Each structure stands twice: as C-alpha cells, then as structure tokens.
C-alpha cells in the first residue's frame, strides 16, 4: 500500500491505482474528459493535469500509477494555469452552441468550462467543422462538438465488443466515425452516456426536453430479467427517457438499448379505459360495467373452470393479489410461466441465477445451455465478456450459434450435446472438471420445451458432478427472460393441488373445460388456443391479449406503479411510480382488489403497505430488498428423455419482446436496422 | 471553414497476388504468435503497392481480415499515416517537399511548375492517369533542397525548368537519374570537395596499413540507400 501526499495530506491507497483515483479517495476532485473508470486509460484529453514533486512539468494524473512517497499538488497556480490552457485548447474547435445542444445542462464540458475556463475566447480564426456521421437509429451525431476523447471507441471495443467505431485521420483532421454503419450493439445507447460532450446524443430524445425540466424517479427495469437499475425521467406524466443508475452487482452503469429506448412505447397503444365485448366488438365501458360483466360470468362458475395466467411484466403485488383471489374462488389453475418453461419451484436454487451476476467475475469456466445471452440479457453478456477479457474465461455453448462478442467454444445444438458434456464425452467436460469455479447457465431455450424438466434435471446432475456447487459457490444458474418470472415462482403463482398448468389450461379452454381465463398482462400465449373461453385481460397495452379479450381492464405499466420485481438472481427490487397511468387505468393490484370485492372474495388489504405485509408474511423472501436469498440445493427437475430438437433462443428479435417494446417506434426502427436488414443478407448472428 | 470527412474506398474485391501472399506471410511470421496485428503497416504498404499506389476500401478490409482484426482498426492505421493514399494517385506520384528549407530554396516554383505542366491541382490525377502531385512536409533531404519524391525515389537540387523536363521524360518513358540533378554526390558540396583539399587522400601510409600493391582498390561508395 503506497503512501502518498495529496495537497499536504498523507493518504495510503492500494497499489495499482492511478494518481487520479488516489485523489478521488482523498476527496479531491480532478476534472477529466477521456478518463472513465470502466474503460482503459487513454490519457489524451490532458484535463486531469496535476503537479507532482520532482517532475519537470504537470503530469496526467489518470495515466500515472501511484508510487511510494509521491507528493501531489492539485491546487497550485501551475495546475490552474495548465487546466485553463487545456480547456482553452479544447474550446478552440468546440462550437458555442450550448443553447441548441441536447447535452446542455448535463454536459461535462459545459460544467468544467464554468469551473476552469476563461470567460472569453482568444481564438479568432475559423473553427473546424466536421461532417455528421451515421450511427444508426439510436445515436445522433454532431461531430463538430467532438473533443476526441475516444471514450466511445473504447466503450464499443471493450464493453460492447463491437469494433465498429474508430478514430480516423490524424491531428486536426482526426474524426470519430463508424464508416456509415449503424453501431450493431445492444448496448449502443450507453455511447451517449459516455460521451462527455454533445457529439453523440440520443436520436429518439433529440430536442424533446432539458434535464432541469424532468422529474427523476429511481426505479428498476422490466424489459428483461436482469432488473437493471434505472432512472425514469418524466415531464408531466410522460416518460421522456430512461437513464441507467449505478448498481455494481447488476448493471454496473450500463443499460441495454431496449431498457433505454423502448419507453416511447409507453405512450402508444395504451389501454386507458375498460372495454367490454358486445356483439363481437370491444366497446368502451365504465369500471362498473366491466366488473359487472366479469362478476356475472363468475357467478356460479366452479373454481376449476377458471384459470389465470400471468405475463412477463407483472409485479409481485398484482400476482399475489390475483393468486389470493383465484384461490379464494376455488381455482388452483394458475401459471406464471406463459412460455411453458418447465421450471421447478420446489426450491429457490432451481430457478434463480445462483452465482449472482457479479459472481460471473469469479467464474473460470461457463457452459451456456439453450440461451443467447446477448439478446436475452445484454448486461449479463457484458459481464461474461468482461470476465473473458480479464481472465480468458472458457465458455462452451450448447444451443443457437450466435456471435456473443467473445470467444466461445461451440459444442452443439441440443440435448444430445448436453448429455455428452454431462457424461464426460465432450472436450469441454475436462475444462469444467479442471475449473475451480465452473458455472452453467441454462436459458429458457432449453427449459421452455416439453422435455424441459428432463433438461433441468440433467443440468442439475451436471452441476453436481462437475463440482459446481460447494459451500461458498453455486454455479447453477437459470437465465430468465421475463422480469416477472422469479417473483411469480417465489410467491407460487403456479398450479396448486390438482391445478392445471399453462398447457393444460390452454387445452382445457380449447375443450370448453375452462370457461374463464384471467390474463394478467399475458400476451405471448397462443390466443387461438383459448377456444370459447371468456377472457379477461388486465394490462396496459392493446396487444394480443387485449385483442382476444372479452373484458379489458386498464392497468399500469412499470413506470406507473410502486411495485416489487425479482430479477433472475432472485434479488428483490422496488420499482417506483414515475407518472400516473393514463385515463381510467389504475395500479394493477387495486384493480384486483376492487374486482375481488365485486365477486364476493374481498381481499384483506386496502393499501399497498398492507398488501406487502401480507406478501411478506406468506413469502419471506420479499422482505429482503436488494438482497439475494439463496435456496437449498435439493433435487429438482423431472425424469424423462431428451428430445433431439435443437435448443432455440426464445428471443427471436431483441428489440421486440413485450407489449411495450412492440408498441415502440424506436424499437421498430431498430428491428428494421439490426434484425430485418440482416435477414435479407442472410449474414450476421445466424452464423 | 474546413470540412473534413472520411473517404470511402471502392467496393471492388482485392486479394494478394501469390508472390505478395508469400511476402505477407513472411511479414506476419516476424511477430510472435497472437501478435499478427503488428504487421498491419507492412501489409497495408504491400497492398498499396499492389493496387497502383493507393488503398481502396476493399484492400484495407482484406488486410484486416488477413490479420484477423476489425476493419476499423486497419482503417485507423491507414488513415493515420499520410504515406497511405486513400484516393487514387497517378502512375508517377510526385510529392513536392514544402517545408522551410525547400521552401526557402524555391519549392513554390516546383509546385507551380508541376501544376502548370500537368494542368492539375494538388491531389488530382491527370486524365491519362500518369501523374498526380501533392505537397508534403519535410522529406529529410534538406541539404539538397528543393526536392521532390516521385514514387520511391528522391530527385534533388531541382529547378522549375528541370522539374518540367523530368515530367516530359517520365511521360516519354525515359529513365531519370535518381538523386541530385546537378551531379553532386549525395549531399557533398556542389562542384566537388571544398575543404581538406590540402591534405593528401588517405592511403594508409601514416598508420602503416597501406594495401598490398596490386590488390583491388576500394570501390567508391555508391548512391546512398
């Protein structure tokens, strides 16, 4: 631990840090543009100059490793003069267009020019102008504003793993460019965040709002099962944008493009009042009429003739309330696995990402089974890539053959290969055997099939045999694709005693054995299979479920309610209300609470606090916010033979997986640019 | 106001000739396993020589694929170094040095002579595709200023008249004498040595190591490499 003096104060810091990091630890703020703590050091902006004793000139603190006995001064006339000079140089070619720049108000250059700049320019010559570049449907470029910090180049190369952005030419002619290609990464939205100036800005958000007009609400994301921490920026009740929020154990400081840009879908295709089907057409109705229609259908209907299916975006509270109401009505036909995944809820360890996302950084071998993490959970993929770059993590893959942005040993497509690995016949078996912390990640592509239970059992056996589970390490991981899934499994939104599961519900509905199906935001089931059943759809978007429904109840989207979600790790997180739901729409649990009174099964809570109290009483895991409760390692899965069909990823199009992203204009543009564009050329991720 | 942007290369296919492929593999073999990317400059130069003195986009991408690096990384290198031409050049690619010594000795005249004689501006290629001319910074032959570089060779001690003659000669397909155009040896004084003339030439007698009579004389040193 080197000891150094920073501004006359002695401080001991871990070796390997840079002077800039040591200064931060000492509480001294150093201005910077090119330095970013998660990217490699470039040292090209020179803003972080400090004085070091016995050095002939100021040093770039971001690129200088700490040494024993260093004496650093950050507040001397020399330092101030150096920073002023650097700032003046940076501003030579930077346009003074802050009033029309989207970065205005949250711009590093603007802020630091206030702190370190001159109050007037001395540069009378023409500034250089740089042509705009095309970077795809998400990123708008105004390259004249670029200060060549190369953060975007380093982000795309190191974190996103797509080497498509580069700094070309030299000197005064240096430019950032992609050679007119869209940045083909699921994390490209973060380029806007790493850019310290207004050169890369968000295209969908262009000229819509100023940061000081927005109300910021800390929440969590539901576009995938990662549960990225987000900040929802609203103006009035409209969500203007979604920004990432730091959570080292989940998303670090990145979010995926769907998380960030699907928010325009929150303003389209919304259900803002109840509807009831009359003469084959959905007509607007009042809440009383809608509830009345449901109550009259339920009246006298036996419990086993009713069923409920929860979708991918549901919060735990509404699922809990619906479960209690259905159980109260005598129905055990519940399922939260709308993709038909053969998940086993007997123990928590069977369905969560046991090693935790941050735990990936301890792993030394990973077997991916039936998953395309790049599309199912881009931030988990980014962690895998981070570990791969740091330590050469060995990764084997069974399932779809896709480019994951890191080196993968492709083993095979289906269950046959998994068996080979499990029984030691594959080359990868040795790698797993010799690894200290091996890990298996089982995706829904392997579980959402008729033989899913057998795959789960085989994966469990494999985890046992290759020493993936020990006292301080559990490398058995299930990667979910839906934000609601783990929560649903935790609170047992599953077939009860003698109850039907999804397949059986659909089968029963087709045969007329199930007469009422309650869809809680479930849009991805085969609606044609529902037969003549009376369908109640509660949700926020006019998607497949609402089209089929006989009664539509307008619910709230994830930005419009205070709600609990559990991510794929089993981490309980709170989403917060950022803006009220549109029109007559209400928070989902309140709808179920009101309906329950109408159908004679009044639920015993009148506010969210009471509901949460009941939820925690019934399922203690929900009490530990932001913590992961491990499950016990018991037997799970089902016996059976594996089928020959290859594992396919459940995500066919990253940009459109749920009602919100399907309603989003931005996601449609991304689909066109990154998914459809490639299919025509028959190249890209299909290998 | 200056507008800069990146010039896209042509989309025609490119691949090394068998001879160049052999040379390329030799370059790559100079670097340790896994560090093949280090050969990028050598390979880009090879590709430029093969494709008439400039690098089309297809050639850069070919080199990138050859070295298994992202095309963007090769583009960055190719655009950084000014000796890689990203636009077509003439068969005789004239680079006029314009840095201070050459400029003081009349490089402006050479530039004018080239432009007038060829009827092109800097960076343009003549219609017959034979010539293009650009101004460059110091080529390191200041003692023989002013000078130009045509393809791989230096032509020094020039005058505008000599420059025009040279262009005529090149157009007619005549060989040009490389180096000083006024006959001096490398950068020795014009008209022969001007110092140390009173000393006898070194023959070894003073240190008693005179060559045996009849042995071959030491060959005069040739043109500087």
CB of B29 within 8 Å of any CB in chain A?
no
Q: Which of A126, A129, A166 is nearest residue B75 as measured by Cβ atoms?
A: A166
Residue of chain A whose alpha carbon sits nearest to that of B76 = A168
Q: Is A14 exposed, middle or buried (0-12, 13-18, 19+ CB in 10 A)?
A: exposed
How far is Cα of residue A111 from the mean position of the Cα atoms in its chain?
A: 30
CB of A652 within 8 Å of any CB in chain B?
no
How far away is chain A from the Cα of B190, in angstroms, using its nearest Cα? 38
For the beta carbon of residue B225, count every other beta carbon within 10 angstroms.
Answer: 3
**CB A130 to CB B5 under 8 A?**
yes
How far away is chain A from the Cα of B142, in angstroms, using its nearest Cα? 24
pLDDT in the model for residue A120: 84
pLDDT score of A84 more than 50? yes
pLDDT score of B187 more than 90? no
Confidence of residue B212 (pLDDT cuts 50, 70, 90): low
Rounded distance between C-alpha atoms, residue A249 and residue A360, angstroms: 10
Q: Residue A221: name the closest of A663, A661, A565, A581 by CA.
A: A565
pLDDT in the model for residue B183: 86
Using an 8 Å CB-CB cutoff, list chain A residues near B76: 166-168
Q: Identify the bridge partners of residue B133 per DSSP, sorted by sequence position.
A: B94
| Dihedral sign of CA atoms B12, B18, B23, B24 in order | positive
pLDDT in the model for residue B5: 44
Task: Please give the average per-residue pLDDT across A94-105, as a whole number.
Answer: 94
Confidence of residue B206 (pLDDT cuts 50, 70, 90): low
**CB B8 to CB A131 under 8 A?**
no
Q: In percent, how much of chain A has pLDDT > 70?
A: 99
pLDDT score of B1 more than 60? no
Long-range pairs for B110-116: beta carbons < 8 A, 24 or more residues apart: B110/B146, B110/B148, B110/B158, B110/B160, B110/B163, B111/B135, B112/B160, B113/B160, B113/B161, B113/B163, B113/B164, B114/B148, B114/B163, B114/B167
pLDDT in the model for residue A539: 96
Using an 8 Å CB-CB cutoff, list chain B residues near A150: none
Q: Is A687 exposed, middle or buried (0-12, 13-18, 19+ CB in 10 A)?
A: exposed
Contact B5, A169 (CB under 8 A): no
pLDDT score of A40 more than 70? yes
Confidence of residue A687 (pLDDT cuts 50, 70, 90): very low
Confidence of residue A119 (pLDDT cuts 50, 70, 90): confident
Work out the angle at residue A188's Cα, subtended by the Cα atoms of residues A182 and A190, and round it to the nearest 5 degrees: 150
| Residue A575 φ/ψ, nearest 5 degrees | -95, 150
Which of A470-484, A538-552, B204-218 has the weakest average pLDDT? B204-218
pLDDT in the model for residue B189: 85
Residue A300 Rama label (left phi>0; alpha psi -120 to 50; beta): left
pLDDT score of A336 more than 60? yes
pLDDT in the model for residue A682: 44
pLDDT in the model for residue B194: 80
Q: In percent, how much of chain A has pLDDT > 90?
A: 92
**CB A166 to CB B8 under 8 A?**
no
pLDDT in the model for residue B186: 84
pLDDT score of B136 more than 80? yes
Note the pLDDT tens digit of each residue in A160-211.
999 999 999 998 899 999 888 889 999 999 999 999 999 999 999 999 999 9
Confidence of residue B4 (pLDDT cuts 50, 70, 90): very low
Contact A565, A250 (CB under 8 A): no
The pLDDT mean for chain B works out to: 86
pLDDT in the model for residue A686: 42
Q: Residue A458: name the closest of A491, A414, A521 by CA.
A: A414
CATH 3.40.30.10 range(s) for chain B read 92-180
Note the pLDDT tens digit of each residue in A200-257.
999 999 999 999 999 999 999 999 999 999 999 999 999 999 999 999 999 999 999 9
Using an 8 Å CB-CB cutoff, list chain B residues near A163: 69-70, 72-73
Contact A163, A157 (CB under 8 A): yes
pLDDT in the model for residue B210: 59
Using an 8 Å CB-CB cutoff, list chain B residues near A170: 79-80, 82
Listed in order, strand segments (DSSP E) in A102-190 are 129-130, 139-141, 166-168, 175-177
Rounded distance between C-alpha atoms, residue A231 and residue A313, angstroms: 18
**CB B4 to CB A170 under 8 A?**
no
Contact A500, A333 (CB under 8 A): yes
CB of A163 within 8 Å of any CB in chain B?
yes
CB of A169 within 8 Å of any CB in chain B?
yes
For the beta carbon of residue A257, count every other beta carbon within 10 angstroms.
Answer: 26
- B18-80 belongs to which CATH class? mainly alpha
pLDDT in the model for residue B13: 81
CB of B7 within 8 Å of any CB in chain A?
no
At B110 the three-state DSSP class reads helix
Task: Please give the average per-residue pLDDT across B192-196, as a whole number.
Answer: 79
Confidence of residue A685 (pLDDT cuts 50, 70, 90): very low
**CB A169 to CB B4 under 8 A?**
yes
pLDDT in the model for residue B196: 77
pLDDT score of A460 more than 70? yes
**CB B3 to CB A129 under 8 A?**
yes
Using an 8 Å CB-CB cutoff, list chain B residues near A130: 3-5
Q: Residue A45: name the closest of A102, A83, A6, A97 by CA.
A: A83
CATH 1.10.10 range(s) for chain B read 18-80
**CB B72 to CB A180 under 8 A?**
no
Using an 8 Å CB-CB cutoff, list chain B residues near A177: 6
Comparison of pLDDT for B188 and A48, the residue scoring more = A48
pLDDT score of B203 more than 80? no
- And the tokens for A268? 């389209």
Q: Which of B3, B8, B76 is nearest residue A131 as measured by Cβ atoms?
A: B3
Got the DSSP string for B4-24?
A: E-PPPPP-------HHHHHHH
For the beta carbon of residue B210, count every other beta carbon within 10 angstroms.
Answer: 11
Note the pLDDT tens digit of each residue in A586-642.
999 999 999 999 998 899 999 999 999 999 999 999 999 999 999 899 999 998 888
Whether a cis peptide bond, with omega within 30° of 0, leads into A279 is: no
pTM (predicted TM-score): 0.90
Q: Residue A89: name the closest of A47, A56, A132, A36 by CA.
A: A47
Task: Please give the average per-residue pLDDT across A259-284, as a whole number.
Answer: 95
Confidence of residue B214 (pLDDT cuts 50, 70, 90): low
Rounded distance between C-alpha atoms, residue A312 and residue B91, angstroms: 65
At A73 the three-state DSSP class reads strand
The pLDDT mean for chain A works out to: 94
pLDDT in the model for residue B222: 44
SS3 per-residue string spanning A622-636: HHCECCECCCCCCCC
Alpha helices in A182-230 (DSSP H): 190-194
Give the count of alpha carbons within 13 A of A144, CB side only: 17
**How is domain B92-180 classified at the architecture level of CATH?**
3-Layer(aba) Sandwich (3.40)
- The CA R_g of chain B, rounded to the nearest whole Å, is 22
At A358 the three-state DSSP class reads helix
Comparison of pLDDT for B192 and B136, the residue scoring more = B136
CA distances (Å), A280 to each of A270, A535, A547, A548, B145, in order? 21, 13, 11, 10, 93
pLDDT in the model for residue A684: 42
**CB B1 to CB A126 under 8 A?**
yes
Confidence of residue A557 (pLDDT cuts 50, 70, 90): very high
Confidence of residue A152 (pLDDT cuts 50, 70, 90): very high
């Amino acid at each position: 631990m080197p000891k150094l003096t920073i501004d006359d104060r002695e401080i001991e810091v871990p070796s390997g840090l840079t002077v800039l990091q040591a200064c931060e630890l000492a509480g001294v703020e150093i201005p910077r543009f090119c330095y970013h703590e998660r990217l490699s050091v470039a040292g090209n902006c020179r803003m972080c100059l400090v004085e070091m004793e016995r050095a002939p000139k100021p040093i770039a603190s971001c690129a200088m490793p700490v040494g024993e006995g260093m004496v650093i001064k950050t507040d001397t006339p020399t330092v101030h003069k150096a920073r002023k000079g650097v700032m003046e140089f940076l501003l030579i070619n930077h346009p003074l267009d802050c009033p029309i720049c989207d970065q205005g108000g949250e711009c590093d250059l603007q802020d630091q020019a206030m702190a370190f700049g001159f109050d007037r320019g001395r540069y009378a010559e023409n500034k250089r102008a740089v042509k705009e570049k095309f970077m795809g449907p998400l990123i708008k470029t105004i390259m004249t504003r670029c200060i060549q910090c190369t953060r975007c180049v380093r982000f795309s190369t190191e974190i996103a793993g797509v080497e498509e952005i580069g700094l070309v030419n030299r000197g005064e002619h240096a430019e950032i460019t992609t050679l007119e290609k869209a940045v083909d990464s699921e994390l490209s939205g973060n380029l806007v965040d790493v850019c310290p100036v207004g050169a890369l800005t968000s295209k969908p958000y262009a000229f819509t709002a100023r940061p000081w007009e927005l109300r910021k609400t800390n929440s969590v994301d539901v576009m995938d099962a990662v549960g990225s921490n987000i900040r929802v920026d609203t103006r009035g009740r409209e969500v203007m944008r979604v920004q990432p929020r730091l959570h080292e154990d989940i998303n670090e400081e990145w979010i995926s493009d769907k998380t960030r840009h699907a928010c325009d879908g929150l303003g389209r295709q919304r259900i803002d009042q109840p509807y009831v089907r009359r003469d084959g057409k959905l007509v607007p109705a009042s809440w009383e009429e809608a509830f009345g229609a449901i109550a009259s259908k339920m009246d006298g209907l036996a419990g086993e003739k009713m069923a409920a299916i929860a979708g991918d975006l549901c919060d735990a509270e509404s699922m809990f309330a619906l479960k209690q109401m259905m159980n109260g009505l005598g129905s055990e036909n519940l399922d939260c696995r709308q993709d038909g995944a053969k998940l086993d809820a007997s123990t928590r360890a069977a369905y969560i990402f046991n090693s935790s996302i941050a735990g990936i950084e301890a792993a030394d071998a990973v077997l991916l089974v039936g998953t395309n993490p790049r599309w199912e959970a881009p931030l988990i993929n980014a962690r895998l890539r981070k570990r791969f770059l740091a330590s050469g993590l060995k990764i084997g893959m069974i399932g779809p053959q896709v480019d994951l942005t890191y080196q993968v040993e492709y083993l095979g497509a289906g269950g046959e290969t998994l068996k080979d690995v499990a029984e030691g016949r594959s080359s990868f078996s040795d790698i797993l055997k010799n690894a200290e912390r091996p890990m298996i990640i089982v995706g829904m592509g392997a579980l959402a099939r008729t033989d899913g239970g057998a795959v789960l059992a085989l994966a469990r056996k494999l985890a046992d045999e290759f020493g993936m589970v020990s006292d301080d390490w559990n490398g058995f991981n299930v990667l979910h694709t839906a934000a609601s899934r783990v929560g649903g499994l935790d609170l047992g939104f599953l077939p009860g005693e003698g109850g039907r599961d999804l397949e059986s519900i659909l089968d029963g509905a087709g045969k007329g054995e199930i007469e009422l199906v309650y869809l809680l935001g479930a849009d991805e089931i085969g609606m044609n299979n529902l037969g003549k059943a009376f369908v109640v759809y509660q949700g926020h978007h006019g998607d497949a479920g609402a089209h089929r429904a006989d009664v539509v109840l307008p619910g709230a989207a994830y930005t419009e309610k205070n709600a609990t979600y559990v991510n794929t790790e089993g981490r309980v997180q709170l989403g917060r209300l950022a803006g009220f739901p549109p029109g007559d729409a209400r928070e989902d649990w309140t709808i179920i609470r009101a309906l329950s009174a109408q159908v004679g099964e009044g639920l015993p809570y009148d506010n969210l606090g009471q509901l949460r109290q009941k939820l925690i009483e019934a399922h203690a895991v929900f009490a530990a916010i932001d913590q992961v409760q491990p499950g016990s390692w018991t037997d799970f899965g089902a016996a059976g033979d594996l089928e020959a069909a290859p594992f396919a990823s459940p995500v066919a199009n990253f940009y459109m997986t749920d009602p919100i992203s399907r309603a989003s204009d931005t996601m449609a543009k991304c689909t066109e640019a990154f998914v459809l564009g490639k299919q025509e050329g028959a190249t890209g991720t299909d290998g | 106001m200056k507008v800069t942007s990146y010039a896209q290369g042509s989309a025609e296919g490119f691949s090394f000739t068998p001879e160049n492929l052999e040379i390329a593999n030799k370059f790559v073999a100079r670097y340790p396993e896994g560090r093949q990317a280090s050969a990028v400059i050598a390979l880009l130069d090879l590709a430029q020589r093969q494709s008439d003195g400039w690098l089309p986009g297809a050639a850069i991408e070919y080199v990138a694929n050859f070295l298994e690096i992202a095309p963007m990384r090769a583009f960055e290198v190719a655009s950084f170094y000014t000796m890689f031409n990203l636009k077509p050049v003439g068969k005789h690619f004239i680079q006029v040095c314009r840095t201070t010594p050459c400029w003081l000795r009349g490089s402006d005249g050479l530039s004018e002579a080239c432009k007038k004689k060829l009827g092109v501006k800097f960076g343009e290629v003549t219609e017959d595709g034979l010539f293009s001319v650009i101004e460059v910074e110091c080529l390191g032959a200041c003692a023989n200023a002013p000078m130009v570089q045509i393809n791989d060779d230096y032509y020094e001690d020039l005058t505008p008249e000599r420059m025009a003659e040279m262009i005529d000669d090149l157009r007619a397909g005549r060989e040009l004498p490389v180096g000083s155009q006024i006959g001096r040896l490398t950068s020795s004084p014009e008209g022969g040595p001007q110092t140390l003339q009173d000393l006898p030439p070194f023959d070894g007698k003073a240190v008693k190591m005179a060559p045996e009579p009849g042995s071959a004389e030491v060959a005069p040193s040739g043109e500087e490499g």
